[in-house]
Structure 1
Amino acid sequence: MKILLKLAIFTICILALPEFTLAQCNEYTKKECIPQLNPYTFNGQLNNAVLSQGETAELQLTFYKDQEYRILVKGEEQLGKLQFQLFDTEYNLLYDNADEDHTNLWDFMVESTDDFIIRVLVPENMTKEEIESGCVSILVGFRAFGSRTIFK
């Protein structure tokens, strides 16, 4: 009976671990990332995942004409500098933050409404014996074109 109870507790812990990790990732995104979208308006989609070194994630999003956008890709410190790229749906590379010293923000506009793919690459750290994992967030902010306040 004790073995059965221990097995049940172990199973519950294993099943609950992903939910606990995802909840921590959501908190990281809300506290550390969303404020960095300012002065853009957060689009309300929490796009985050726990990734390990050497892993890649992709997200397909629609961007609309006459909107200015800010993409923020941020990961926890132990992951190092993240690389993110923007592709059209045929995987033609449109932007790569590696060309700009791995910045985590990019502001842009699109000429017409279309779908795009954001790819995030977590660097592999060859010096560490243990593989690190951490939260990675991909957030989008927007504002109507021309809504900037211009100071004279």
Structure 2
Amino acid sequence: YSQKRFVKNKCLPVLKPFVYNGQLNSANLAEGDIAELLLTFCGGQNYRILICSPEVLGNVEFKLFDTNKNLIFSNKDHDYINYWDFTSNTTQQLVVRVKVPKQEDSGDIKQSGYVSILVGFKE
């Protein structure tokens, strides 16, 4: 329940003015974890990909690749911004890779939390 409330209150407002596509992809990730998700985007459509995570996880890195593993976008090059807007020129599948950084001063206790990937589109 608290994850849904977090998404509703903290994530969905960041998608605006894009319309949420209704698919919530979330995983409980800890420091150093990497997760990948394959998503389909329709040609001629404007999109926003949003990576939403609790602050305790730090600067969560996300990268977007095509299916040939060519890097399209990395938020590491953009001060770890948590979203990216783009137009899909063709209908295509893209891989979103999310990486939670390791905390230098966490000791034996690993921080963890739900990381959500949301997609919005413009009508």
Bin for the TM-score computed over the shorter chain: over 0.9
Give 4+ residue runs of structure 1 displaced > 4 Å after superposition: none
Aligned-pair CA distance for 1:25:
2.1
Aligned-pair CA distance for 1:78:
0.6
- Structure 2: distance between partners of 1:67 and 1:93: 20
Please state which structure has a larger fraction of its residues in strand.
Answer: 2
Tell me, yes or no, if the aligned pair for 1:84 and 1:118 is still in contact at 8 Å. Answer: yes
**1:137 aligned to which of 109, 116, 123:** 116
Number of equivalent positions? 122
- Alignment partner, residue 13 of structure 2: 35
Tell me, yes or no, if the aligned pair for 1:26 and 1:46 is still in contact at 8 Å. Answer: no
Q: What is the SS of the residue equivalent to 1:54?
A: coil
Aligned-pair CA distance for 1:24:
2.6
Tell me: higher relative CO, structure 1 or 2? Use CA pairs within 8 A at least 6 residues apart. Answer: 2
Please state which structure has a larger fraction of its residues in helix.
Answer: 1
Tell me, yes or no, if the aligned pair for 1:26 and 1:48 is still in contact at 8 Å. Answer: no
Q: What is the TM-score with the length of structure 2 in the denominator?
A: 0.94
Query: Within 5 A, what are the aligned runs for 1:111-130?
Result: 111-129=89-107, 130=109
Tell me, yes or no, if the aligned pair for 1:47 and 1:138 is still in contact at 8 Å. Answer: yes
- Structure 2: distance between partners of 1:27 and 1:56: 24
How high is the sequence identity, in percent, across the aligned residues?
45
Aligned-pair CA distance for 1:127:
1.2
Determine whether 1:93 maps to 2:74. Answer: no
Aligned-pair CA distance for 1:27:
2.4
Q: What is the TM-score with the length of structure 1 in the denominator?
A: 0.77
Where do 5+ consecutive residues of structure 1 fail to align? 1-22, 145-152
Query: Within 5 A, what are the aligned runs for 1:39-54?
Result: 39-54=17-32
Tell me, yes or no, if the aligned pair for 2:45 and 2:89 is still in contact at 8 Å. Answer: no
Aligned-pair CA distance for 1:137:
1.1
Give CA-to-partner distance per residue, 1:61-86, whole Å, 9 cap, x none. Answer: 00011110001112101100110000
**1:65 aligned to which of 16, 28, 43:** 43
Where do 5+ consecutive residues of structure 2 fail to align? none
Aligned-pair CA distance for 1:26:
2.6
Tell me, yes or no, if the aligned pair for 1:25 and 1:50 is still in contact at 8 Å. Answer: no
